Structure 1
Amino acid sequence: MTGPETEIDDTTPESEEKQKLNLEVEVTKPDACTRHVTVTVSQEDVDRYFEEAFTELMPSAEVPGFRAGHAPRKLVEQRFRGQVADQVKGSLLMDSMSQVSEDQEFSAISEPDFDFGAVELPDNGPLKFEFNIEVRPEFDVPQWKGLELERLTRDFSKEDIDRQLQDILRTQAEIAPYEGTVEPGDYVVANIRSRLDGKVLAEASETTVAVKPIASFPDARLEGFEKLMTGAKAGETKTEKCTISHDADNADLQGKDVEVDFEVLEVKRLELPELDQALLERLGGYENEGELRDQIKAELERRLDYQRQRRLRQQITGLLTQSADWELPPDLVKRQASR
């Protein structure tokens, strides 16, 4: 046997739509990018928030001479007025600000310039507060139809793909001994010695150095290193001058010209691997070289498309802002300048 069905009302105060505040909002424009907002919350809303706060407090309020939650409401209101007032002020300000942001049409670009502590909740009467806020400047959109733009175009040749393929192979290359003379891009294993007025300052043994236009050391840079080493072979010593950095730890050496000796012990060169099936598999599971080349071309075209879109956006932005005439929010400019 079943009893009569009972409908359960699961409506809770939280599920009901929150009652909107009765606000008076005055907005003035000190300048094109600032709005000064004055908000007045009605006495009725202030009383309602106090009523709700005390109703919530009553079951747990402790007053001497009474069990918790059993003290007369008037005593509770007298004892906890200050504590509840701070809570009510915070709730009113938060809800008011939220409602203002929803109801007003200005597009804020910053947090309100607002002093919570300066707002006073009166014993009687409405709550009033004010704040400044930065907004997007209002302006007429410049004419954009008919703008002439330059579109980046390019056809990728076999040579372009060859260069990219060589770059890929270099990532898989190994440095191996080479019997010939040094060429740009090679490596030398050398004993390095720096001297000042014939006195040895520092030495490094069997150091591998890439043959590039500039050789970098902790306290110096040697310009023309590639030119110096080109044509050298094992057993030869190359000498060049360089200037110690003015930021060197040793103040006595700062700015001094020193001689650097490179005793070449061995020449090494990158050996590119053969593009066989095993390497094709490691590079991405390609069936053959043609498939890899197709992928390289597709990647080049993706990069070109990105650059094309970026350049078009830059052109559009530049052309539109040429005729634009509006004020920028001062605080926004300061924030950007400080970055």
Structure 2
Amino acid sequence: MTAKWEKGEGNQGVLTVEVGADEFKSALDQAFQKVKNDVSLPGFRKGKVPRKLFEQRFGVESLYQDAVDIVLPSAYSNAVEETGIEPVDQPEIDIDGEIEKGKPVVFKATVVVKPEVELGQYKGLEIEEFDTSVSEEEVEEEIEKLREQHADLVVTEDAAEEGDTVVFDFKGFVDGEPFEGGEAENHSLELGSGQFIPGFEEQMVGLEPGTETTVEVTFPEDYHEETLAGRAATFNVTLHEVKRKELPELDDEFAVDVDENIETLDELKKKKREELEHNKEHEKEHHEQDSVVEQVTENANVDVPSAMVTTETDRMLQEMSQRFESQGISMDMYYQMAGTDEEGMKEQFRPEAEKRVKLNLVLEAIADAEEIEASDEKVEEQLDEMAQAYERDKEEIRQLLSLQGALDTLKDELRMQSALKFLVDQGVTVEAKPEETEAEETEEEDKQE
């Protein structure tokens, strides 16, 4: 077998594969062995028809397609390896010329290959500094959130305020007629939570227990129930109870209620500070990665093949399906709720999929340029983490990944992570720009116009 690769325009080219006469003859022999059991001729039992008589009766040409099917997969695979190309989609394969017995067979495969990446600047990229310090105010905010979470709801005779929970009956009407789903008794609602139609909760503020009133609202234009979208509605409301949050005292007893592993309020504050610091370190890491990713992809020039984007959208859809299934939600159910279908979902994913593919190609090119590899230590660390997460033996995880062909994928992912870390390490920290107010952004946009 011989192979020749001719690069065409863009990411496409033609792979010419010549299968030798002897190799194709062997495939013809295998094809005959495959079909002879289904052939019967007068005087011969099935499977006993001589090859010569078969060819006289049916012609050797009748074996050509089966022989091609036998020889083509391995010939194409070997040709790809020999020429060193990296296909990213199924090829379009045609036989070049007529097949003649005793002569080589030539295939021409039109192949889309992984694109070449023209790297721009990727060292010394600017990364705005990220403040990881934690203020006293931030710690106090976290403590107040805990107080809110541990608050008791106490019935009050006072008028309802934002943040109170009200218990009420309601019945809704559109054009004087009740509508489905517009009625409930003893319904609980936290005012200010935004659970009801815009304007409804605001009109509940100031009402006292026992009040009967009318609330007038308009359904949003994008309301999920099309028959109600954009329409005016009236609700008859009877308020039964107002419940107000009673916050616990901020003392050591409260701290123990929140976390049984600590004994004092000071310890709780210290723990919350450490958690905030830890979270900010993670935020800093993501900030740095996002900064270099945006710049390095913008600086690089690469023609992303549509086939790679399609593969990525399929993978994203599969991941989404697995997440929903783990929550007991089928994709058909989701499509119905979201008002879309599989193709619509893929179309939504496509812009993000293209960004991901381009980023992976760029990171791979940088890893190649800088000779970055996933170290054995990193691989072992990842296997340790997976074994712990799945509560399985580490070697069992390794064997499972190997059988699935996923061990190389794991190494590739770790290699990309190392390339990303390289970009951050090579970056230059600069002073953060002051955040623009909404008015300043509007003014800047007006200047540009």
> What is the TM-score of this pair, normalised by structure 1?
0.69
**SS of the counterpart of 2:282?**
helix
**SS of the counterpart of 2:127?**
coil
> What is the TM-score of this pair, normalised by structure 2?
0.55
- Kindly indicate whether residue 141 of structure 2 is the aligned counterpart of residue 163 of structure 1: yes
- Kindly indicate whether residue 286 of structure 2 is the aligned counterpart of residue 310 of structure 1: yes
The equivalent of 2:109 in structure 1 is: 131
Q: Which stretch of the first structure deviates more once superposed, 171-180 or 73-82?
A: 73-82
Deviations 1:16-46 (A, max 9, x none): xxxxxx22x2222221321222212111211
Pick one of 287, 294, 300 that aligns with 2:276: 300
Deviations 1:124-166 (A, max 9, x none): 4222222222223324321222222113222123432343344
**Matches for 1:17-56 after TM superposition, within 5 Å:** 22-23=1-2, 25-51=3-29
Deviation at residue 211 of structure 1 after TM alignment: 0.3
Deviations 1:151-186 (A, max 9, x none): 322212343234334445655655443344423222
Pick one of 210, 214, 224 that aligns with 1:235: 210
Specify whether residues 203 and 27 from structure 1 end up closer, same or farther in structure 2 by C-alpha distance, changes over 3 A only: closer
| Counterpart amino acid of residue 199 in structure 2 | E
Choose 1 or 2 for highest CA Rg.
1
The equivalent of 2:296 in structure 1 is: 320
| Counterpart amino acid of residue 91 in structure 1 | I
| Counterpart amino acid of residue 165 in structure 2 | Y
- The answer to whether the Cα contact below 8 Å between 2:200 and 2:216 also exists between their aligned partners in 1 is no
- Measured in 1, the distance between the counterparts of 2:273 and 2:55 equals 78
The equivalent of 2:73 in structure 1 is: 94
Specify whether residues 147 and 276 from structure 1 end up closer, same or farther in structure 2 by C-alpha distance, changes over 3 A only: closer
The equivalent of 2:188 in structure 1 is: 208
5+ unaligned residues in a row in structure 2: which ranges?
314-345, 351-449
Deviation at residue 268 of structure 1 after TM alignment: 1.5
Deviations 1:57-90 (A, max 9, x none): 9999987656787765645776896775444322
- The answer to whether the Cα contact below 8 Å between 1:62 and 1:69 also exists between their aligned partners in 2 is yes
5+ unaligned residues in a row in structure 1: which ranges?
1-21
May I ask how many residue pairs the two structures share in their alignment? Answer: 305
Identity of aligned residues (%): 25
- Measured in 1, the distance between the counterparts of 2:56 and 2:147 equals 83
**SS of the counterpart of 2:238?**
strand
Pick one of 51, 70, 91 that aligns with 1:112: 91
| Counterpart amino acid of residue 328 in structure 1 | V
**SS of the counterpart of 2:89?**
coil
Pick one of 242, 245, 248 that aligns with 1:267: 242
Specify whether residues 188 and 75 from structure 1 end up closer, same or farther in structure 2 by C-alpha distance, changes over 3 A only: same
Deviations 1:297-323 (A, max 9, x none): 444344333332333233223323444
The equivalent of 2:422 in structure 1 is: none
- The answer to whether the Cα contact below 8 Å between 1:245 and 1:255 also exists between their aligned partners in 2 is yes
- Measured in 2, the distance between the counterparts of 1:70 and 1:333 equals 52
- The answer to whether the Cα contact below 8 Å between 1:186 and 1:210 also exists between their aligned partners in 2 is yes
Task: Name the Cα RMSD after superposition.
Answer: 4.1
- The answer to whether the Cα contact below 8 Å between 2:167 and 2:240 also exists between their aligned partners in 1 is yes
- The answer to whether the Cα contact below 8 Å between 1:182 and 1:267 also exists between their aligned partners in 2 is yes
- Kindly indicate whether residue 263 of structure 2 is the aligned counterpart of residue 280 of structure 1: no
The equivalent of 1:9 in structure 2 is: none
- Measured in 2, the distance between the counterparts of 1:329 and 1:191 equals 58
Specify whether residues 179 and 90 from structure 1 end up closer, same or farther in structure 2 by C-alpha distance, changes over 3 A only: same
Specify whether residues 157 and 179 from structure 1 end up closer, same or farther in structure 2 by C-alpha distance, changes over 3 A only: farther
Deviation at residue 242 of structure 1 after TM alignment: 0.8
- The answer to whether the Cα contact below 8 Å between 1:193 and 1:200 also exists between their aligned partners in 2 is no
Deviation at residue 243 of structure 1 after TM alignment: 1.4
- Measured in 1, the distance between the counterparts of 2:68 and 2:292 equals 49
- Measured in 1, the distance between the counterparts of 2:51 and 2:93 equals 34
- Measured in 2, the distance between the counterparts of 1:259 and 1:56 equals 77
Specify whether residues 85 and 207 from structure 1 end up closer, same or farther in structure 2 by C-alpha distance, changes over 3 A only: same
**SS of the counterpart of 1:268?**
strand
The equivalent of 1:258 in structure 2 is: 233
More strand by share: 1
- Measured in 1, the distance between the counterparts of 2:210 and 2:293 equals 60
- Measured in 2, the distance between the counterparts of 1:115 and 1:172 equals 71
Specify whether residues 91 and 162 from structure 1 end up closer, same or farther in structure 2 by C-alpha distance, changes over 3 A only: farther
Specify whether residues 145 and 75 from structure 1 end up closer, same or farther in structure 2 by C-alpha distance, changes over 3 A only: same
- Measured in 1, the distance between the counterparts of 2:195 and 2:34 equals 75
- Kindly indicate whether residue 122 of structure 2 is the aligned counterpart of residue 144 of structure 1: yes
Q: Which stretch of the first structure deviates more once superposed, 299-308 or 91-100?
A: 299-308
**SS of the counterpart of 2:73?**
helix
| Counterpart amino acid of residue 18 in structure 2 | T
- The answer to whether the Cα contact below 8 Å between 2:120 and 2:301 also exists between their aligned partners in 1 is no
Specify whether residues 125 and 250 from structure 1 end up closer, same or farther in structure 2 by C-alpha distance, changes over 3 A only: closer
- Measured in 1, the distance between the counterparts of 2:68 and 2:214 equals 79
